[in-house]
Structure 1
Amino acid sequence: MSIRLELIVILILLVLNILSCTSQSKKDAADFFLKGNQALNQKNYAEAVRFYNEAIAKNADFSDAYLNKGISLLKMNKAEEAFDVLSEAIRIDPTLVQANLVRAETSLHLGRLREVRQDLQAIEKQYRDSTRYYLIKGDLLSAEGNSALAIPEYDKAVQLKSSNVEALVNRGAIYYNMHAYKQAKADFNAAVSISPLLPQALNNLGLIATKEKNWPLALAYFDKVLDADPSDPYSLNNKGYVLLQTGQAEKGKELISRSLEKLPENGYALRNLGMYYQLTGNIDLAVETYKKAIDLSEPVDMLYGLAGSAYWQQKNASEACRIWKQGIILKDSASIAEAAKNCK
Structure 2
Amino acid sequence: MGITDRLFGRCDPDDRERPETDTEVSRKAVSLAQQGRFTEAIGCFDRVLEEDPTNVKMWNNKGVFLDLLGRDQDALACWEKALEIDPEFAPAWVSRGMLHRRRNRFEEALACYDRAVELNPDSAVAWYNRSGIFVAMRQLDEAVACYERVLSIDPHFVAAWIDLGYVHFLRHQHEEAIACYDRAISEDPGNVRVWSLKGGALYALGEYRKALECFDQVLSLDPRYSAGWSMKCSALYHLGMYRHALACADKALEINPDCELTSQVRKMLVSLIEKW
TM-score range, shorter-chain basis?
A: 0.7 to 0.9
Q: 1:256 is matched by which residue type in structure 2?
A: A
1:168 aligned to which of 146, 161, 165: 161
Q: Aligned runs of 1:61-210 on 2, under 5 Å? A: 61=53, 63-71=56-64, 78=68, 80-81=70-71, 83-94=72-83, 95=86, 96-210=89-203
CA pair 59-135 structure 1, distance change in 2 beyond 3 A: closer
Q: Contact 1:171/1:187 (CA < 8 Å) preserved in 2?
A: yes
SS at match of 1:80: coil
Query: Residues 112 and 119 (structure 1 numbering): CA distance in 2 closer, same or farther, change over 3 Å?
Result: same
Q: Could you tell me which amino acid in structure 2 is paired with residue 257 of structure 1?
A: L
When the two chains are superposed, the root-mean-square deviation of aligned CA atoms in Å is: 3.2
Q: Does 1:38 align with 2:27?
A: yes
Q: Who wins on radius of gyration, i.e. which is larger?
A: 1
Higher relative contact order (CA 8 A, sep 6+): 2
User: Aligned residues, how many?
Assistant: 245
Once the two structures are superposed, the pairs formed by residues 220-299 of structure 1 within 5 Å of their partners are 220-245=213-238, 246-247=241-242, 248-258=244-254, 260-261=256-257, 264=258, 270-281=260-271
Contact 2:174 2:205 in 1 (8 A): no
Partner of 1:336: none
Q: Percent identity?
A: 14
SS of 1:118 mapped into structure 2: helix
User: Using a 3 Å threshold, how does the CA distance of structure 1 residues 97 and 232 change in structure 2: closer, same or farther?
Assistant: same
Gaps of 5+ in 2: 1-17
Q: 1:58 to 1:214 in 2, by over 3 A?
A: closer
Query: What's the TM-score once normalised by structure 1's chain length?
Result: 0.61
Inter-CA distance 36–57: structure 2 relative to 1 (3 Å threshold): closer
Higher mean alpha-carbon deviation, 41-50 vs 251-260, is at: 41-50
Segments of 5+ residues of structure 1 without an aligned counterpart are 1-28, 283-344
Is the CA contact 1:36–1:52 (under 8 Å) kept in the aligned structure 2? no
> CA distance change for structure 1 residues 227 and 117 in 2, over 3 Å: closer, same or farther?
same
Change (3 A) 1:189 1:116: same
Contact 2:229/2:252, CA 8 A, preserved across alignment = yes
What displacement does 1:100 show?
1.5
